[in-house]
């Protein structure tokens, strides 16, 4: 609550207050320490001095008391007025008013009030006990000393405060300026001005904050662009099959086209394409929300590759592409993973390989184990991917051939989803390609996955 309230006071005021306080504490402690050192030193010195001056007085008083007791009062009064002190003598050692023989200032109380010091007098040869009472010289001396000290310290502390104030002004300008420009920028970025950036200036911490702010704004802008592109791409992807379906249905309705099996198959293919797209989008949305549901279990990679071969061998044969599958027989190739999702990845990679490999080409599907890593490779002798396109092919909706007809490819989401699935297995997927020579996708998966066999979805 208190810090919250303090948080509302501007940094400038807080710093000025802090400097004022620091100077006050510094000056105060210097003054206190000086005061203490001086009072200890001078008190003993002054008291010693007074004691040595008072010594002979006792001797005089004792002789008068012995020789002429009646003159004791006037002698004491004269001594007292000369020394600016009060002299009190008692009969015997008991100090009460009945025993008081001499008091040069009876208006004062006994024992002496505070602020006065009493020094015992040595009155040898008599029964008297005497005291020499003076105002405490240390107190009055210290009062004067403290006033001088305060006067001396006033100017340096004022100068210190002003210098501190100046430094704070400069410092706060260096800190507060970029901070308020960042606050302003944050407000504008929040309102949608995502291209706004702040200068990365000021002390290192503030500059680092500005850098992080700019990075955040860039990421926001990127994700905004990505979202807009995604919506546009989705609309575009949906439009084409829908137009085909609608066109055919209108033609059938107007009796322009026969609803024969050919027409129905075309419409059916388009709806399958639409469904695939929607499934891909759903997978992607789940991966984005880190909710890609994986059902972990033992996956025999040999079996996985055999199923993939069975799925694509006919298609490869029809296209005149050789499909080679190589798995080592010596070692068991079992990992912990989601067999259905891994098959989906292979389906995507083999589908692409087949799509971009012309007749006469070859596709190799290989699995091997190296240490604790199982490696799967999909290698083709197809068109290859140019170095400019290669870094982006895992991006959503990225297609090398932007104007590619729908019939020649998928949604452009396949590799994005594949990467997400492999990452959810704590693995990696890399690509290498040479234009005109072919492309190789390499997947590395940990053989001993962490205890995930309880169907717990991993952090994607």
The footprint of ligand ADP (CB under 6 A) covers: 348, 352-353, 356, 380, 382-383, 385, 393, 398-401, 409-416, 439
Residue 188 CB, shortest distance to ligand ADP, in Å, is 36
Phi, psi (rounded to 5 degrees) for 172:
-65, -35
* Nearest to ligand ADP of 326, 455 (CB atom): 326
- State how far the Cα of 217 lies from the Cα of 190, in Å rounded to an integer: 9
Residue 338 CB, shortest distance to ligand ADP, in Å, is 19
Query: For the purposes of burial, counting CB atoms within 10 Å of the CB of 320, is it exposed (0-12), middle (13-18) or buried (19 or more)?
Result: exposed
Residue 362 CB, shortest distance to ligand ADP, in Å, is 12
- State how far the Cα of 263 lies from the Cα of 362, in Å rounded to an integer: 34
Residue 410 CB, shortest distance to ligand ADP, in Å, is 2
- With CB atoms as reference, the residue minimizing the distance to ligand ADP is 410
* Nearest to ligand ADP of 22, 272 (CB atom): 272
* Nearest to ligand ADP of 233, 338 (CB atom): 233
Residue 177 CB, shortest distance to ligand ADP, in Å, is 47
* Nearest to ligand ADP of 405, 459 (CB atom): 405
- State how far the Cα of 335 lies from the Cα of 447, in Å rounded to an integer: 5
Residue 339 CB, shortest distance to ligand ADP, in Å, is 20
Q: With beta carbons less than 8 A apart as the criterion, state whether 356 and 383 touch.
A: yes
* Nearest to ligand ADP of 196, 230 (CB atom): 230
* Nearest to ligand ADP of 164, 410 (CB atom): 410
């Amino acid at each position: 609550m208190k810090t919250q309230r303090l948080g509302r006071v501007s940094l400038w005021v807080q710093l000025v207050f802090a400097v004022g306080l620091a100077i006050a504490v510094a000056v105060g402690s210097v003054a206190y320490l000086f005061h203490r050192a001086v009072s200890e030193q001078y008190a003993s010195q002054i008291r010693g001095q007074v004691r040595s001056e008072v010594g002979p007085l006792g001797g005089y008083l004792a002789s008068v008391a012995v020789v002429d007791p009646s003159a004791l009062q006037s002698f004491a009064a004269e001594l007292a007025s000369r020394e600016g002190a009060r002299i009190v003598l008692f009969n015997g050692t008991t100090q009460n008013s009945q025993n008081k023989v001499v008091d040069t200032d009876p208006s004062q109380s006994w024992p002496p009030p505070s602020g006065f010091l009493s020094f015992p007098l040595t009155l040898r040869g008599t029964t008297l006990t005497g005291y020499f009472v003076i105002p405490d010289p240390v107190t009055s001396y210290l009062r004067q000393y403290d006033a001088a000290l305060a006067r001396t310290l006033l100017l340096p502390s004022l100068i210190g405060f002003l210098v501190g104030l100046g430094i704070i002004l400069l410092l706060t300008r260096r800190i507060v300026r970029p901070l308020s420009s960042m606050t302003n920028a944050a407000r504008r970025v929040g309102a949608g001005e995502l291209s706004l950036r702040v200068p990365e200036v000021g002390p290192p911490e503030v500059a680092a904050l500005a850098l992080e702010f700019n990075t955040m704004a860039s990421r926001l802008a990127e994700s905004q662009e990505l979202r807009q592109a995604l919506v546009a791409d989705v609309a575009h992807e949906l439009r084409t099959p829908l137009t085909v379906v609608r066109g055919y249905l209108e033609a059938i309705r107007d009796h322009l086209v026969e609803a024969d099996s050919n027409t129905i198959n075309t419409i059916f293919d388009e709806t399958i394409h639409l469904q695939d797209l929607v499934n891909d989008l759903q997978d992607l949305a789940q991966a984005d929300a880190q909710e890609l549901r994986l059902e972990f279990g033992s996956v025999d990679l040999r079996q996985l590759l055999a199923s993939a071969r069975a799925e694509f061998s006919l298609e490869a044969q029809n296209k005149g592409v050789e499909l080679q599958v190589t798995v080592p027989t010596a070692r068991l190739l079992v990992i912990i993973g989601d067999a259905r999702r891994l098959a989906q990845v292979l389906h995507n990679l083999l589908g692409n390989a087949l799509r971009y490999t012309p007749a006469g080409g070859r596709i190799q599907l290989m699995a091997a184990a190296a240490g604790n890593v199982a490696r799967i490779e999909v290698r083709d002798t197809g068109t290859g991917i140019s170095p400019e396109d290669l870094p982006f092919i895992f991006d959503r909706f990225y297609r090398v051939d932007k104007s590619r007809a729908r019939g020649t490819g998928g949604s452009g989401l396949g590799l994005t989803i594949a990467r997400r699935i492999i990452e959810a297995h704590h693995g990696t997927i890399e690509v290498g390609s040479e234009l005109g020579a072919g492309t190789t996708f390499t997947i590395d998966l940990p053989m001993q996955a962490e205890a995930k066999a309880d169907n717990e979805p991993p952090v994607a």
